[in-house]
Chain A
Amino acid sequence: MDAGLLAQFVANGLMLGMMYALVAVGFTLFFGVLDVIKFSHGDVLTVGAFTGYSTYLGLKLLGVANPWLQVAAVVIVACAAMALLGALIAKYIVMPLKGAPALNVLLITLMLGTVLRESVRLFYPDGANPKRFPRLLPTDAVALGSFNLRLDSVLLFLGGLAVIVAIHVLINRTKLGLAIRAVAQDEETAKTMGINFTLVVLVTFAIGSAAAAFAGVMNGLYYNEINFGMGLWLGVIGFSAAIVGGLGNIYGAILGGFLFAALQTVGAVALPFASAYKDVFAFAAVIAIMAWRPTGLIAERTSERV
Chain B
Amino acid sequence: MNAAPRAPLWPGIVAAALVTAFAVAFMWAENEWEVVGVLAAALVAVLVARRTGWLAPAARAFEMREPAMNCVTIAALLVFVAFFHDDHFPLLMVGTVLVYFTVCLGLTIQFGYAGVLNFAAAAFLGTGCYTAAVLSAHTSLPHLLVLAAGGAVAALVGSILILPVLRTRGHYAAVVTIAFGLLFRTFLEVNDTLGGPQGLKLPSMNLLGMTFNDNFIVAGIEFSFYMHYVLAALALAVLAFAVTRRLERSWIGVSLDAIRLDETAAACFGIHLARWKIVAFTLGNFMAGAARALYALMLGFIAPTNFTFGDSLVMVSIILLGGIGNPWGAALAAALVVVLPEKLQLIQEYRFLLYAAMVILVLLYRPEGLLPRPLRNYLPGWRPR
Residues of A within 8 A of B (CB): 31, 37, 93, 96-97, 100, 102-104, 106-108, 110-112, 114-115, 118-119, 122, 232, 236, 239-240, 243, 247, 274, 276-277, 279-280, 283-284, 286-288, 290-291, 294-296, 304, 306
Partner of A107, one of B170, B179, B187, B363: B363
What 12 new A-B contacts, CB under 8 Å, besides A108-B359, A108-B360? A97-B367, A102-B170, A106-B174, A108-B364, A111-B317, A111-B355, A240-B178, A243-B172, A280-B187, A286-B175, A287-B161, A294-B167
Q: Is the interface of B mostly helix, strand, loop or mixed?
A: helix
Do residues A100 and B367 form an inter-chain contact, with CB atoms below 8 A? yes
Do residues A304 and B364 form an inter-chain contact, with CB atoms below 8 A? no
Do residues A114 and B356 form an inter-chain contact, with CB atoms below 8 A? yes
Do residues A294 and B363 form an inter-chain contact, with CB atoms below 8 A? no
Partner of A114, one of B170, B175, B349, B353: B353
Do residues B350 and A122 form an inter-chain contact, with CB atoms below 8 A? yes
Do residues A107 and B316 form an inter-chain contact, with CB atoms below 8 A? yes
CA distance A93 to B365 in the complex (A): 11
Do residues A111 and B359 form an inter-chain contact, with CB atoms below 8 A? yes
Is B309 engaged at the interface, CB distance under 8 Å to the other chain? yes
Do residues A287 and B180 form an inter-chain contact, with CB atoms below 8 A? yes
Q: Which residues of A lie under 8 Å from residue B175 when comparing CB positions? A: 239-240, 243, 286, 290
Is B1 engaged at the interface, CB distance under 8 Å to the other chain? no
CA distance A49 to B320 in the complex (A): 32
CA distance A95 to B178 in the complex (A): 24
B 180-199 binary contact with A (CB < 8 Å = 1; else 0) = 10110011001000000000
Do residues A114 and B355 form an inter-chain contact, with CB atoms below 8 A? yes
Write the chain A residue with the least CB distance to B115: A103
CA distance A222 to B68 in the complex (A): 64
* Nearest chain A CB to B50 CB, angstrom units: 24
Do residues A107 and B320 form an inter-chain contact, with CB atoms below 8 A? yes
Do residues B183 and A296 form an inter-chain contact, with CB atoms below 8 A? no
Do residues A283 and B182 form an inter-chain contact, with CB atoms below 8 A? yes
Q: Which residues of A lie under 8 Å from residue B117 when comparing CB positions? A: 103
Write the chain B residue with the least CB distance to A115: B356
A-B contact pairs, 11 of them (CB 8 A): A97-B363, A111-B355, A114-B310, A118-B356, A119-B353, A232-B309, A239-B178, A243-B172, A243-B175, A283-B186, A287-B183
Write the chain B residue with the least CB distance to A304: B264
Q: Which residues of A lie under 8 Å from residue B317 when comparing CB positions? A: 107, 111
Within 8 A of A (CB), among B249-281: 264-265
Q: Which residues of A lie under 8 Å from residue B316 when comparing CB positions? A: 107
CA distance A302 to B175 in the complex (A): 19
* Nearest chain B CB to A245 CB, angstrom units: 12
CA distance A111 to B264 in the complex (A): 31
